[in-house]
Amino acid sequence: MYGKIHDEMKCAVSKMETYNDVYLRIRKSLKSAGITSPELEARMIISSASGKTKEEVLAMSKIYATDAKIKAKIEDSLSRRLKGEPLAYILEEWEFYGLPIIVSPDVLIPRMDTELLAEKAIAILNAKPWQTRTLDLCAGSGCIGIAIAAKVASSRVVLADVSEEALGICRQNMLKNNQSRNITPITADALKSPPSLLGAFDLIVSNPPYIPTKDIETLENSVKDYEPLSALDGGEEGLEFLKAIAGKWSKILKPGGHMALECGIGQAAAVRYIMKQGGLSDIKTYKDTGGVERVLTGKAT
């Protein structure tokens, strides 16, 4: 009798996993599914499910993972990830410019390439030693404008998006990053003329949709099946938004104000031309870490 109970207990204990066992198991599954950073993703999944930092998760490695809620969350995250969902949507948060950014399928996941746009925008504002006004058009999660407000103390930022859902995420990110005082979210369609009474800006920054419509189907599944198409599709040549922004919105730049735009592979020459047509000068192009001409800046006269 005691022998049987003892055997059952032994069996239960041997089935029990430590956090390190869980880590090794999910890392293996992620690796077999062809995910490129299984170690990092496994740690991030456990960290998010347990509400602990990566360091705290490491410190728990010998502890038995007994909390049913945490375990269920880990298994749910793993199965969603194995089906191809981007990790950012599973964790509901992603890092941009060192800041935590809440994301949902209503907004594009902040990309590392876009940090170059934020970096150039911040450098432009740092050269303007007065209280500046910045407009982040097609703001999505609000990541660019929030990075600007967080890093440039003298800046006031307007986050504009056509999607009410995206503006809801912007508001959450303003709160999360303690930037509600410095930022105003507004509804605006970048394809139309700026609403009156918006005032003039020292900087207009934008990462608009720029993928040519016909290229959408060639995007990775994790992008085309999960991310909002309205944040990606830039019309036939992908330039519809960039044209409208450089054409219509440059009119609300202050004299000497700047515009900073992100574009896709092979679009920089066309965007340079579009910016010139919009009356901008001193146009500069910057390459991302992959060597792609990704960001252009120009100045209003």
Residues in region 107-146 near ligand GLN by CB under 6 A? 108, 111
Taking CB under 6 A as the criterion, the residue among 58, 162, 198, 223 binding ligand GLN is 223
Residue 207 engages ligand GLN in binding (rule: CB under 6 A): yes
Residues in region 170-189 near ligand GLN by CB under 6 A? none
Distances (CA, A) of 296 to 110, 200, 254, 263, 277: 18, 20, 18, 8, 14
Q: At closest approach, how far in Å is the CB of 276 from ligand GLN?
A: 21
Size of the site for ligand GLN (CB under 6 A): 9
What are the tokens at 55?
């360091």
Q: Please give the Cα distance from 27 to 170 (Å, whole number).
A: 33
Q: At closest approach, how far in Å is the CB of 221 from ligand GLN?
A: 12
- Smaller CB distance to ligand GLN: residue 78 or 211? 211
Q: At closest approach, how far in Å is the CB of 202 from ligand GLN?
A: 23
DSSP code for 49: H
Q: Which residues pair with 99 in a beta bridge?
A: 96
**Region binding ligand GLN by CB under 6 A among candidate stretches 80-88, 151-159, 204-212, 243-251:** 204-212
Q: What are phi and psi of 36, to 5 degrees?
A: -75, -30
Residue 232 engages ligand GLN in binding (rule: CB under 6 A): yes
Report the candidate in 54, 63, 34, 143 with the shortest Cα–Cα distance to residue 99. 143
Listed in order, strand segments (DSSP E) in 173-273 are 183-187, 201-206, 253-262
What are the tokens at 7?
């055997």
Taking CB under 6 A as the criterion, the residue among 86, 110, 209, 278 binding ligand GLN is 209
Are 62 and 20 in contact, with CB atoms under 8 Å apart?
Answer: yes
- Smaller CB distance to ligand GLN: residue 111 or 254? 111
**Residues engaged in binding ligand GLN (CB under 6 A):** 108, 111, 207-211, 223, 232
